[in-house]
Amino acid sequence: MRGKILFAAGLAVGYVLGTRAGRERYEQLKNAAKGFWNDPRVQHRVDQVEDFVKERAPEVAEFVSDGAKKVVDQVTGRGATKPSTAKPSTAKPAARKPAAAAKKPAASS
């Protein structure tokens, strides 16, 4: 309940402060952001990042794909796709007890 009250109070404070600033301040902020984005230095960095992403995209896609395949194999229980190089065990499996013998009836009181 306390969280809801704090959330409502935050909304009220934000609304009051927002309406006081008004449309004029919003326009000032919007124009400042537009001016920053259109700055040639910023656009130069944006172009560099785009080129970097275009070069690395195939590597990232392959890495993500391989990781996803490993996760699917683990979740579905398929395990590794490579054949095991371990030698087969020569030990005999332990004898299993019948299920009825393993469970004893509960004593009634």
Same domain, 44 and 22: no
pLDDT band at 50 (very low <50, low <70, confident <90, very high): very high
Same domain, 21 and 44: no
CA distances from 1 to 4, 13, 55 (A): 5, 19, 51
Q: Are 70 and 63 in contact (CB under 8 A)?
A: no
pTM over 0.75: no
Its domain, for residue 21, covers: 1-38
- The CA distance from 97 to 95, in Å, is 7
In a domain, 85, yes or no: no
pLDDT of residue 36: 92
Residue with structure tokens 């960095």?
45
pLDDT, one tens digit per residue, over 55-105 is 988 888 889 998 999 999 888 887 655 555 555 555 555 555 555 555 555
Same domain, 48 and 70: yes
Number of domains into which the chain is organized: 2
